[in-house]
Structure 1
Amino acid sequence: MNAEKILRLSVPLLVLSLLAACGGGGGGSSGGSASGSSPVTSSSSSSSSSGGTLPEPAPLPAGETAPTEADAVRFLSQATFGPTATDLATVRGSGFRNWLVAQMMAAGPNYSTGYSTDVHTRGLKDFCAEYSFPSEYYQKNCWTEYYSAEPISREFYRNAVYGKDQLRQRVGLALGQIFVISNAEVSGTYGLRDYHQMLLDNAFGNVRSLLGAVARNPAMADYLNLANNDKTAPNENFARELMQLFSIGLCELNADGSLVGGSCKATYDNNGVREVAFALTGWTYPAGGVSPWGSSGWKNPTYYRGQLLAVPAQHDNAKRSLPGGGELAAGHTPDQAMDAVLDALFRHPNIAPFLGKQLIQHLVTSNPSPAYVARVSQAFASGTAYGIGTGQRGDMKALLAAILLDSEARGDSKSAADYGRLREPAQFIGGMMRALNTSTDGAGFFYWWGDEFGQSIFNANSVFNFYPPDFPLAGTSLVGPAFAIENPNSTLARYNLSNSLLYWGGLGAGSFPGATGTQADISGWLAKADNATTLVTDIEKLLVTGGLPADIRAAIVDAVSAWPVSTTSSSWRTDRVRAAFYLILASPEYQVQR
């Protein structure tokens, strides 16, 4: 009877979620071991090792009003993978700005450095067949552990759950979906690790430094064909995506993100792409790689550790036009040309609204107002916002402060239909595990659940990411980027994962060394189960900004109450907590971050 009641309630919630999907608002570390095994950290050791040193936020300044509970939940949904009771207390005690400053000073966690470079340094034609592995597991799972993104995906989810530097981890996810490389083309776990560590390292730096680190990264150079580029007939792939996706976009923009003159005026043409491609010739992989087919002249074999190596003799040093106007004088070196191109893009008026709006969409809302985008663009230009930043153009700390402290991000009442964003799968998974006090080894979310959700982290189908920033919501004038990968199957996957964690003992341990699986711990909520209304209300406050509609809340309380109080068994408490979490996690009010 009770199970049937929960099922009857989940079906209309599923329908509501689908309706919302149709129209609702919607330089890197280079060190590392060359050992023969990939690092694996258990969930228990992850918890202690992934936090780094986190400064305590300063107490709330005198005269400043403490954030309300609702806006603290909203803030943490935007700036972390999901609020916890401890986080809420910290934010309400220190205020938003102090919390941001402390997060920007937080150290670690870093991705493990032990991923082997042997796939590119041993010169074997068939590494997996010929290498002497440290254990039978690694021999049987060679491709997974040495070539794929699965091991660092495990680390990503452990960091999302346990990391005390939540802001850096959340911004790192956003940057990885703007400056995309993918395991679909890049084979080498250590290279994928180094690239995404570089993004974390630059999360609070400067956009110009970030562009330089991206452009000189060998894994990116492999992914978009910049390495070993022929000076007489260069591949244009990286040059095009550098402009289209990584910096200025296709159309001239005003500071508020609107089109200059109301229609698309191209920021560059095919000749502009070709000019940049010629300017970026003369780069090869760092030394260290070995090819079984011998030397290819100036072109170093594939190797992902470190930065690209300049080869001046293979660089086209003719006079070239730069993006946005200006020229690169003849006689330049590869480094001079690279810096000139990146400087031109960094000075371009488009870069502030182009990158700023996308970061707003990843963190706060899919449809920011032009005024919001303009304020963020101003912070990009000035390098300071709310007293945070160095005062240098492109300061990431200022950019993030402007995004997260803006009046459009803050405030208790966010009822506008066009406000918010769908929690993408990685955020949904991380937030749910944090709320359920989950222990995890991070496994299972790459090959299985990643496929079910349409988002296997670090393995986007193309350089255009898992979803585009301008994906339209049918029947509206709004965009809903993450809805591009949301469909009935992926919506059901959200409910199935919740069901697995709450009712089926979580995810079982895999076969890799140190595997523990993933298990929720709801014991801390059992004492609240006596009163169904109190239980539902307290979980709702943690998960749902602004609360559930009265009819949905009443229906959930009714379903939770259907588990009768018993004097002979304590299982009813567990059943009540499970039902409350499952139904609130299933609600559109949780699925759409408001």
Structure 2
Amino acid sequence: MPRTLLHASTLSLLLALLAACGTAPHKADPWSWPDGPAPVRRPFFDTSPHYPVPSPAEASRFLQQASFGPHPDEIATLTRSSYQRWLDEQFSLPQTLFLPEIEPEHVRLEKGKNLRQELFFRTFWKNAATAPDQLRQRVAFALSEIFVISFEGQLDVKIRGAASYWDMLGRNAFGDFRTLLEEVARHPMMGIYLSHLRNQKEDPARGRVPDENFAREIMQLFSIGLYELNPDGSLRLRDGQPVETYGMDDITGLARVFTGFSYGGPGTTDRHFNRQNEEPRWDILPMKGYPKFHSTSEKRFLGVVIPPQKTADPEGDLKIALDRLFNHPNVGPFFGRQLIQRLVTSNPSPAYVGRVTQAFNDNGAGVRGDMQAVIRAVLLDPEARSPAPQATGKLREPVLRLTQWMRAFDARSDSGNFLIPNTDNPANSLGQSPLRSPTVFNFYRPGYMPPGSEIAQRNLVAPEMQIVSESSVAGYANFMQTTIDAGVGRAENGKRDVRADYSAMAALAGQPARLLDQLDLLLTGQRLSAASRQRITEAMAAVPLPPGQGDAAERARINRVKLGILLVMVSPEYLVQK
């Protein structure tokens, strides 16, 4: 591909994403954070709109929201079916697991050695590109950005545990929220990450108090948020001011609930509480309560009072606490809005949030927290399927751009292992890797407003813009040029491990307008503007095609395809998913 065209496309991308940035102060909003057993299957009575059979563009757009990217065959299949049927089929598929990919390597591990994070990454990319249960995998990715753990820190070599955590998110993606919340709270990786594993009861004589970290974050980030909300996600006001959902006393009371939990397994001694090597599967077994280390003091939080106990009851106290959080009226709008943001749009209307909240509160059969009902409500809402022309959509996060390229062009791994390493570097890669958020607040806050931008002036949010910079924009464009041209991942025998198949597209290279039709369908859902179409078509047509069917002609056709893909994938219409 001509390098001069890369520079032009990079400049276009920079202008599209960064023109609005300035130095104005960040506007606060209710979604801004301070820095700093098998799932239950529930009946769901579908009250969502029943859409007609989708067009190819509509099918592509739906799959961009509900999967890691449309595949041409899946678009064709969906145009002969319906959204509802596709969801039913996805809900019924068995889960593609991470742990079976990791476990054999763990078993072979030499004593004193650790698994590398790359093992987790390659499993992620393999499943994102090839797993049939795309909806579950995509929702698990969304959940990983809400119920955050990260390799950054004490989990850097806990690869088997991280795989188990990811599988837990996937297992509960179609279950019920109450079970999800409990399995998050009990998972040893969360216990390490937010420091409530081996959290001990207070000891005034030693000046010891329970660790409050998880107690704070399970409220602030995982369930009810900072401020009381109406069902449509808007702030509840008292005397014109937002109402805080909890205070310091609630954190203190809830922190006592999360004392006495440590490594799972059959053992109950102090050694089992304190030492992970007493149980070889400590990193994948749910944490359990050890009464000796659990607070027996009174526990007050969110209007609940657990009176002082003669006999410590960590399991019973945990149930009371999680039931209270689960039944809090904030959970539906708080969680529902974030799931909309991760799958559909950064700025859902209050009515959209309200409809998702209604599905969370009651799936139609009197069941609260049915994840399948919530997912249906998010993906089948009129705003998701037929957005208004002025809809803001969402900036595609970098990881999803690479997965979409892999799926759109049938990328395959020579090794079969998708040997793609850490992609954190914003200067020469994606600037994002799965499960490597820098903090518990995710890669970006759900209420982030780019300072000084038109977005902020309109009191809208653009979460993914928080990881956008001049460096990341240029780095993405250069990374994608290399990836589209030569593939991605570890190189062996002069070839990168993961490479796309452009043969179907190359057959259209002699007709640049038709080729662009297909690229536009696969990548944007036919959203390219007339101006973008003209520029990209002219750029592809400028690549000369030698006559005949020889190797030179084939290379030229492939180069037209590669150039077209790059220019679409750096266009504003692609980068902003609508």
* Alignment TM-score, normalising by the size of structure 1: 0.82
The yes-or-no answer on 1:436 pairing with 2:409 is yes
Matches within 5 A, 1:316-355: 316-323=295-302, 325-331=303-309, 333-355=313-335
2:137 and 2:243 map into 1 onto residues whose CA distance is 36
Q: Secondary structure at 1:274's aligned position in 2?
A: helix
Structure 2 CA distance for partners of 1:65 and 1:286, relative to 1, 3 Å: closer
Shift of 1:505: 4.8
The yes-or-no answer on 1:497 pairing with 2:479 is yes
- CA deviations on 1:313-354 (whole Å, 9 max, x unpaired) are 22112332232x122233361000001000000010111111
Q: Secondary structure at 1:547's aligned position in 2?
A: coil
Structure 2 CA distance for partners of 1:64 and 1:79, relative to 1, 3 Å: closer
Shift of 1:11: 4.2
Does the 8 Å contact 1:357/1:373 carry over to 2? yes
Shift of 1:435: 1.4
In the alignment, which residue of structure 2 is the partner of 1:403? 378
1:11 and 1:277 map into 2 onto residues whose CA distance is 49
Shift of 1:361: 0.3
Does the 8 Å contact 1:5/1:559 carry over to 2? no
In the alignment, which residue of structure 1 is the partner of 2:45? none
Q: Secondary structure at 1:256's aligned position in 2?
A: coil
Does the 8 Å contact 1:501/1:520 carry over to 2? no
Does the 8 Å contact 2:520/2:526 carry over to 1? no
2:20 and 2:147 map into 1 onto residues whose CA distance is 26
Matches within 5 A, 1:237-386: 237-261=213-237, 263-287=241-265, 298-301=273-276, 303-323=282-302, 325-331=303-309, 333-384=313-364
The yes-or-no answer on 1:539 pairing with 2:519 is yes
Structure 2 CA distance for partners of 1:241 and 1:11, relative to 1, 3 Å: closer
Shift of 1:549: 1.3
In the alignment, which residue of structure 1 is the partner of 2:42? none
Does the 8 Å contact 1:284/1:300 carry over to 2? no
In the alignment, which residue of structure 1 is the partner of 2:138? 170
1:273 and 1:118 map into 2 onto residues whose CA distance is 40
- CA deviations on 1:31-66 (whole Å, 9 max, x unpaired) are xxxxxxxxxxxxxxxxxxxxxxxxxxxxxxxx9621
Shift of 1:312: 1.2
The yes-or-no answer on 1:456 pairing with 2:413 is no
Matches within 5 A, 1:384-533: 384=364, 391-411=366-386, 414-416=388-390, 418-440=391-413, 441-446=417-422, 452-474=429-451, 475=453, 476=456, 477-509=459-491, 517-533=497-513
Aligned AA for 1:394?
G
Matches within 5 A, 1:133-282: 142-143=113-114, 146=115, 148-184=116-152, 185-186=154-155, 187-232=157-202, 233-261=209-237, 263-282=241-260
Does the 8 Å contact 1:229/1:281 carry over to 2? yes
- CA deviations on 1:134-181 (whole Å, 9 max, x unpaired) are xxxxxxxx44xx2x4321111111111111111111100010111111
In the alignment, which residue of structure 1 is the partner of 2:28? none
Shift of 1:455: 1.6
Shift of 1:114: 5.8
Count of aligned positions: 523
In the alignment, which residue of structure 2 is the partner of 1:575? 559
In the alignment, which residue of structure 2 is the partner of 1:101? 88
1:507 and 1:561 map into 2 onto residues whose CA distance is 30
Shift of 1:300: 3.4
Does the 8 Å contact 1:257/1:370 carry over to 2? yes
In the alignment, which residue of structure 2 is the partner of 1:37? none
Does the 8 Å contact 2:486/2:499 carry over to 1? no
Does the 8 Å contact 1:353/1:373 carry over to 2? yes
Matches within 5 A, 1:80-119: 80-113=67-100, 115=102
Shift of 1:118: 10
2:473 and 2:463 map into 1 onto residues whose CA distance is 15
Shift of 1:13: 2.6
1:108 and 1:497 map into 2 onto residues whose CA distance is 31
Q: Secondary structure at 2:329's aligned position in 1?
A: coil
In the alignment, which residue of structure 2 is the partner of 1:53? none
Q: Secondary structure at 2:173's aligned position in 1?
A: coil
- CA deviations on 1:198-251 (whole Å, 9 max, x unpaired) are 001000000000011011111111111111112112111111111111100111
Q: Percent identity?
A: 37
Shift of 1:506: 4.1
Aligned AA for 1:407?
P
- CA deviations on 1:507-532 (whole Å, 9 max, x unpaired) are 44379xxx971111101111111111
Per mean C-alpha deviation after superposition, the further-off stretch among 429-438 and 336-345 is: 429-438
2:222 and 2:426 map into 1 onto residues whose CA distance is 25
Per mean C-alpha deviation after superposition, the further-off stretch among 208-217 and 567-576 is: 567-576
The yes-or-no answer on 1:565 pairing with 2:540 is no
2:370 and 2:326 map into 1 onto residues whose CA distance is 12
2:10 and 2:286 map into 1 onto residues whose CA distance is 52
The root-mean-square deviation of aligned C-alpha atoms, in Å, is 2.8
Structure 2 CA distance for partners of 1:21 and 1:391, relative to 1, 3 Å: farther
Does the 8 Å contact 1:28/1:194 carry over to 2? no
1:382 and 1:68 map into 2 onto residues whose CA distance is 31
Does the 8 Å contact 2:426/2:476 carry over to 1? no
The yes-or-no answer on 1:6 pairing with 2:5 is yes
Aligned AA for 1:250?
L
Structure 2 CA distance for partners of 1:414 and 1:310, relative to 1, 3 Å: same
Q: Secondary structure at 1:409's aligned position in 2?
A: helix
2:150 and 2:90 map into 1 onto residues whose CA distance is 28
Does the 8 Å contact 1:322/1:344 carry over to 2? no
Does the 8 Å contact 2:484/2:566 carry over to 1? yes
1:526 and 1:562 map into 2 onto residues whose CA distance is 15
Does the 8 Å contact 1:174/1:359 carry over to 2? yes
Shift of 1:582: 1.2
Matches within 5 A, 1:51-130: 65-113=52-100, 115=102
